[in-house]
Structures are given as structure tokens and as C-alpha cells.
A and B are shown apart, each in its own frame.
Chain A
């Protein structure tokens, strides 16, 4: 039985198959509408995350399956002191697959070692959020037609942003990618990431000016400066408006550049950019559902050739 804990759990070949399946789902929705008839997804969310939970639920419902679960620790048995390993043993009796979000890092992994059903890590603290990375990769592959040969700018909070770290790790397995890291000094990309890039001989540059690098980019991945990552309010207020993507900055970009964002955004992308064809962050949300559908089918071992 297979689980998904980290985006690197799948080889690039396996990812290709997963993304092919996701694209087939995108183009033939009715074919998959009963693929999971009679099967149940448990969404065990020990901390609130409406977006990810709804995406999983939408994915399972679109496959004809049903969903059950809880959406914060207070309404689960964790509030009574039940361990993750006991909870998953119980969930294994109720459902066929489980998506788990937990504030403690490694909780889904502990669950997977005691589970009789596949467990998907739906985010564990600041550690991993693999389905977001799969979403990002599928969006890029679907809209650019490739996962190699491009220059990607990552902008905003590069220090604490786990989606950014995961995406860099995942993209570093593909050919001819150049990374441009755009952040204020305080939110610079951690050294262990740049060390990894140096080791693999992958080109990167660091800058604080978004305008300057805009013309070079094939992709721009924007991130939110998260209030909860700061110890003092002053630093947060000072840095949150450091980069705001607006029409003027978009005018500097290539005609086929794409803007991605893991969402939710606060104000780092001006709403005036939403109508720009290059702004694909809402399409990205849709791809998030397709990739989760493909993932559920894959982990449940459903033979899609017979659908």
C-alpha cells in the first residue's frame, strides 16, 4: 500500500503518469464520475484549512465517492487526548483513504505506519504540503506543456514558505531550470536550499528587485507574507507590502509568462492583475482538484483503463 508524505515520494516518471491521468480527467470528466462509487474519503483535519479540505472533498465527490471527517482538532477525539496512531486505526475501519492535515510535523507519517488505508499528507505544520506541490507542477505542465527549460521567479516570503521550498525541490529534478529568488533580506531563501542547488549545479540568482528580473521570467510564483510566521507585528507590517504585483510590473513581463500563487492572497497581487490572461492562480485551484482526483485513483489502485 502506498501513501503520499512528500512530493518526492513519486519518481518523475510516476509524476508524469499521475499528471497524464489528471489531464485525462480534465478532458473526460464523465468517464471518471463513478470511478470511486461506494468508496469513502476521510478528511482528518486537526487544524482548519477550508481550501485544501474542500479541494479533497470536491475531488472525491467528482469521482462518485463520499466523504466524512472532521475539520478541527476540537471536534475530534484528539481533544480527548487520543493519539494519531489510534485515530488512524479507527479511521481505517470507516474509510478507504484518508487525507490528513495536522499542526505537528510528521503526524501523517506516524498515521501511515499504523494505517490499513492509504494516507495523504494534506499539510503537516511547516514541514510538507505535497498536494500543493503536485498542483503547482500540474499547472505548469498543463499550461506550459513542459516541466523543463524555463526560468522561474519565486517572490515574497522565501524563508518560511514551505510551498516554495517543496516546489524548488520538486523542480530541481527537471532539466534546465533557472531559479530567481526575489525577497527582502529578512525573508531570503534558506541556505540549505541554495546549497542543494549548488550541489546539483542548478543556476540561481537572488535579488530584491522584482521589476529588474520580470522580463527574464517564464513563470512567476508569488507568495503571501504570513502573519503567523512573525514574532513581532512591526516586522510583519513592514514586510507585508514589500512586493505588490500590479499592472505596471506585469507590463514588463513576457507575453507568455504565467503568474502562480498557492492562495490565499492578501494584497501581494493587485486584483487588477486577475483579468490578465497570464494570471493563472484560479486555474491552479482547478488543477488542484484534478491532481487530487488522480492521486486518489492512483493510491486506491483503481484500474482506470477499464473506465
Chain B
């Protein structure tokens, strides 16, 4: 087992730079135990990729960090504070954690630029002109600036997902959660989204990415977390994980996805 070793080798200083820390987190959906005693630390600037079979609790893990799902027991701390239960404190936490969804979830009645400026103007109370200028810079960065006046339904899936990333970035988040960001995309659009994510990772953004894209994990991840049946089965650096997984379940999973 790698997990305890990894934790033991962490120094006190490492621990203090944890941005997110989950301890003994449990979550049930009815009779289904989707998260079982999850311990996970993500340090600043780290890119953690969560992989594993469907229904293994990966998305739920992603969603409990900004409390889109509540937890039954355990604790989650973000940036030194334990997760607020509700109200303004929770809203403040969420404003510091970006989220990119599988289904993009761009605001359908707002233009692309309005999607990107809504958070800064309404949550951060930044002046509209300033938010729009910054919004255009971000749209430029993800290559969508020319579509700023369009509505989400007029864009392709890949374009929509890049806007969703720009929307998250507009809040200057301390971290971005990606919940299967490329799973709803046509194959030819996957790379354009991954390219944006890779450039974010290179720039030092703290990221937790639930994905089936092993190529992304190899190229951009600092650590791969393998989850199955609601548990973290093993975690390791990508090279080590892909070439020499230490558990049978991870080996079995990799053999199924890497052979085709």
C-alpha cells in the first residue's frame, strides 16, 4: 500500500501547505456507500488526477469539496478553514474554488461574455467595465474571444467547455475542480479542452481532475489517485502508477483501458 507511506513521508511543512484536506470523509446515497473513509490532501500548485471505474465515487469526491454534495461524516478543510455548512461563508468558499462540469452548465440565457463576468460582478462586486476587460482577456486565452457576444447554444461542446474554464478562472480561484470535463465531448473536441487544462497546470494552478483521459494524467498530473468502490485504492506519481501499479485492482483497471 502506497497511501500510508506517502502520508508518513510528508513533513509538517508539506502538511501546512495543503490547500484542501479531507479526513475520514464518508458519504452515502441511500444504501450506497459512495465515499469510504477518504483521506486526501491536495497541496498548493499540485495537479491531482482522479481515475477509476464508473460509479467509484470520483465525481462525488469532486463535488463534496465545494459542498455541492454534503458529507455524512469526516472533515474537509480548505485553505486552513473547515468547510462552512451554509450561508455567506459557504458562498465565499465556493467563490474561491472553481468548478468545471461534465455538462458545461453555461448559463443558457446569458452571452458568453456575461457568463464570464457574472461571478466577478455579482460575487466579487467588481465594476462591469473591469470585469469585461478581464473576461475578454480570459476568453482570448481559451481562444473564444471572437464568440463573446454569442449564446452558449451557438457554440460547440469544446468551445462551451473552454468558456466554462474561463468562467472559473474569472474568479481567480485558489483551485479548480474538474468533474469529467471531456466526457460529454465529441472526440475531436477533447484535445482543445485538454490543451487549455495543460496550460493551466503548467502555470501552477491547483487542480483536482476527475477524468478518463490517461494522456492528460501522464502529461500534466503530479499525482494520480485511483478510486474504486468509494475508496482510494492507491495513489502515486503518474509514471510510477501507469508503469508499475501496486494493487491488483489498479492493474486490472489499467489493463482494461490501456489495451485498446
A binds B: no
